[in-house]
Structure 1
Amino acid sequence: MRIFASIAAFLVFASANLGAWAQSEIEAMAEKPSVPVFAEWLEGVRLEARERGISQATIDAALSDIHPNERVVELDRKQPEFTQTFEQYLEKRVSDIRIKRGREMMVKHRDSLRKVAEKYGVQPRFIAAIWGLETNYGAYTGGMNVVQSLATLAYDQRRAAFFRKQLFAALTIIDEGHIAAADMMGSWAGAMGQSQFMPTSFNAYAQDFDGDGRRDIWTTEADVFASIAYYLASHGWRGDMTWGRAVLIPAGMSPTEGDLAQTTPPKSCGRALKAHSKSLDLADWQKLGVRRLNGEALPEAPFAASMVQPGSTEGRAYLTYKNYRAILSYNCSNLYAMAVGHLADALKSAE
């Protein structure tokens, strides 16, 4: 009898706990929005595309035979941790080979670069530097179907709203005839062409510089140059200044601490700008003991500058100008912006 009583007690206990577990699972599932199967989700995308005025021909060309790309999800989940130092980053990205190739490409496209520079007020060397860093001067623009990548990431839910917006922007680009759906190739995250624009950036900044009716950032260099230049110009670029300069700083100066700290960095690209000091005029930096690398006085120019110290070399830092902020808008990374600046300096002789 004791055995039966024990079994009965156990069953009552297990039943109670199983019921509690089941209830908790039901509640947890209720809290999570249900995700439709991909085919159902894609039909919703097709319907919304029609509502947005996208032609049926574009919808059929771009969204037929689309399925989630597991490789895209894998890359999104496992983006590699950055372990390179500032010096290693520059050595790899501003290599002698890239500098040599950049000078050759600037000579080859000198007329187009100068015409673009004249229209948008962006020096050719900076256009070429971004072109070189983004796609190695157009040599590699990515080999994934952009629509499939964006559809995968929009369905994945982790950043669904952002990538759904990019997906419809991509469909608009195809519908306007700038590129065929089958030819819209790019990175796993949807960056496209030699300038590596996301679709919304394309719609906002891509240019038809050669006047053929297409904004072609894939195969037309003049359009690529103009698109990069217009992007920078739209983010405050000034053609009468450079990006910044390496400087010597007094012993004990901490650019981002104490009185020099930038306590309220702009919301745009705030994480990168937290590594900067507050902005001061060059004359004020001069008074604080900051000098050029050769020990001479700073330029007597009415420029404001903020200081950043990305490297490991003590006593050295960089004063960065307004144009540096424009580069950060292109890619919100101090290392990237520094690489653009250094590469542009190395390409100056080819202008």
Structure 2
Amino acid sequence: MALLLVSGLGSPALAETPVVTLASAAPIQSVRPETRPSSVERVSADQDGLEAWVTAFRAKALAAGITAEIYDRAMRGVTYDPAIVRRDRNQAEFTKTIWDYLETAVSPARIRNGQAALARQDAALTQIEAQYGVEKEILTAIWGLESAYGAVRGNTEILSAMATLAYDARRAAFFEAQVLAALRILQDGHTTQGNLRGSWAGAMGHTQFMPTSWQDHAVDFDGDGKRDIWSDDPRDALASAAAYLRANGWVTGQPWGVEVRLPGGFDYASARRETMRLPSAWARLGVRDVNGQPVPDHGRASILLPAGHTGAAFMIFDNFEVLESYNTADAYVIGVGHLADRIAGGPGLAGGWPTSDRALTFDERIELQERLTAAGFDTQKIDAKIGPLTINAVRRYQQATGRVPDGYASLGVLESLRR
């Protein structure tokens, strides 16, 4: 979903079957959570506490240009939902194994539904692709993961959801900005409060835009004078997603990634985002596609091992990072990219997965980061998110202890640290 450091917002849609943010928005930034306003710091996390937060936040909203009338009317009925806080801490793209995630994200039903959805909107998607340079299969795949091609757009009252998360304080600055943006949408008359419904984290519409992403990137594609991502007609939402990706640097014609085979004796320490080579240079080291052919020189690329050296390997390009601006989780980006390939008629993945492994629990991911840092392999954050910083710390630990340095944060690594 298009937002900033809100992962997994596309995940409610993963119940596609019926069919979330890793959502993040443009260009990826780090948002350091702020504490709650001092007037509510000692209030328990409940409805009374949220109402105290709403009262304290009113002055900031008015100073930002929101009228008292709009604020009071829109915020009058917001409710605290502890389930939203729990979901924010346990998002599917970060808490499932990648093979379990992809089993749902790129299911046969989702592929079939995606091909049908693309056929229905082919004229619009072809025009959007020509205008923005983003391939229609990629846009269809985002549509599929975010809202099951419009079938599951979410019914949560987003002002309540975002106020809950702003009050929760873990990412207060981000969600305060979303509340203000949603209030501006209402104040400027772009939609009604009844339409401000969506995911548990505030993402809305067919392609699950956060309010700030709507402000910055939504477009009126159908020419009716409205940037309408809320209606049953998906065209404005699809074009807005394309505008979002283009603004974040999408390279027309470049793949998100290509599945590859690694040669015997491959230097797994080089399978890191910082090590980038042209595919022709990787080919000279024996890295080729699954059919044994060199990957064309689409641009500089790195090698990604989302499940370590015993799982599938990918050569990823700049467009991978562009998709991360939509959702920061590698699993989400691989899900979008592979679903797009399958919608276009491509094959399934050739590589296997270490299916005997299980995902680490939230507490285990915290413990892994704490133990790595204590052992001198600083993860820089203790947040239970297995992102590049933790992967690099795992790799340094593996190198120091004579293991294959693939950066895979497995239960085996945690058990080794415990010993």
Report the TM-score range of the alignment, normalised by the length of the smaller protein: 0.7 to 0.9
Query: Is the aligned partner of 1:42 residue 2:54?
Result: yes
Question: 1:222-301 to 2 correspondence within 5 Å?
Answer: 222-255=235-268, 257=269, 260=270, 262=272, 276=273, 278-299=275-296, 301=297
Question: 1:93-172 to 2 correspondence within 5 Å?
Answer: 93-172=105-184
1:180 to 188, 192, 200: 192
Residues 65 and 298 of structure 1: is their aligned pair in 2 closer, same or farther, counting only changes over 3 Å?
closer
Residue pair 1:250, 1:315 contacting (<8 A) in 2 also = no
**TM-score under structure 2 normalisation?**
0.67
Q: Which residue of 2 aligns with 1:85?
A: 97
Partner Cα separation in structure 2 for residue 224 and residue 63 of structure 1: 26
Partner Cα separation in structure 1 for residue 343 and residue 330 of structure 2: 20
Residues 277 and 314 of structure 1: is their aligned pair in 2 closer, same or farther, counting only changes over 3 Å?
farther
AA aligned to 1:253 is F
Residue pair 2:275, 2:302 contacting (<8 A) in 1 also = yes
Structure 1 window deviating more from structure 2 (172-181 vs 122-131): it is 172-181
Residues 139 and 283 of structure 1: is their aligned pair in 2 closer, same or farther, counting only changes over 3 Å?
same
Q: Which residue of 1 aligns with 2:303?
A: 307
Whichever of the two has the greater Rg, that structure is 1
Residues 311 and 57 of structure 1: is their aligned pair in 2 closer, same or farther, counting only changes over 3 Å?
same
TM-fit CA distance, 1:57: 4.5
TM-fit CA distance, 1:34: 4.5
Q: Which residue of 1 aligns with 2:395?
A: none
2:76 to 38, 46, 64: 64
TM-fit CA distance, 1:127: 0.3
Residues 222 and 308 of structure 1: is their aligned pair in 2 closer, same or farther, counting only changes over 3 Å?
same
Residue pair 1:177, 1:214 contacting (<8 A) in 2 also = no
Q: Which residue of 1 aligns with 2:374?
A: none
AA aligned to 1:293 is V
Tell me the C-alpha RMSD between the 2 structures.
Answer: 2.4
AA aligned to 2:313 is A
Residue pair 2:280, 2:294 contacting (<8 A) in 1 also = no
More helix by share: 1
**Larger relative contact order, structure 1 or 2 (CA cutoff 8 Å, min sep 6):** 2
Partner Cα separation in structure 1 for residue 301 and residue 326 of structure 2: 19
Residue pair 2:271, 2:303 contacting (<8 A) in 1 also = no
Query: Is the aligned partner of 1:332 residue 2:325?
Result: no
What are the Cα deviations for residues 113-156 of structure 1, in whole angstroms up to 9, with x where unaligned?
A: 01111110001000000110111111111121111111122223
AA aligned to 2:97 is T
Partner Cα separation in structure 1 for residue 245 and residue 299 of structure 2: 18
Question: Any gaps of 5 or more consecutive residues in structure 1?
Answer: 1-31, 263-275
Partner Cα separation in structure 2 for residue 278 and residue 91 of structure 1: 29
What are the Cα deviations for residues 202-247 of structure 1, in whole angstroms up to 9, with x where unaligned?
A: 2111112122232211223111111111111111111122212111
1:194 to 206, 211, 215: 206
TM-fit CA distance, 1:277: 5.4
Residues 102 and 58 of structure 1: is their aligned pair in 2 closer, same or farther, counting only changes over 3 Å?
same
Residues 310 and 76 of structure 1: is their aligned pair in 2 closer, same or farther, counting only changes over 3 Å?
closer
Structure 2 SS opposite 1:280: coil
AA aligned to 1:170 is A
Residues 320 and 76 of structure 1: is their aligned pair in 2 closer, same or farther, counting only changes over 3 Å?
closer
Residue pair 2:195, 2:230 contacting (<8 A) in 1 also = no
Deviant stretches of 4+, over 6 Å: none
Residues 244 and 212 of structure 1: is their aligned pair in 2 closer, same or farther, counting only changes over 3 Å?
same
**TM-score under structure 1 normalisation?**
0.79
What are the Cα deviations for residues 84-117 of structure 1, in whole angstroms up to 9, with x where unaligned?
A: 4332322221011000000101110111101111
Q: How many residue pairs align between the two structures?
A: 302
TM-fit CA distance, 1:284: 0.7
TM-fit CA distance, 1:38: 4.1
AA aligned to 1:327 is L
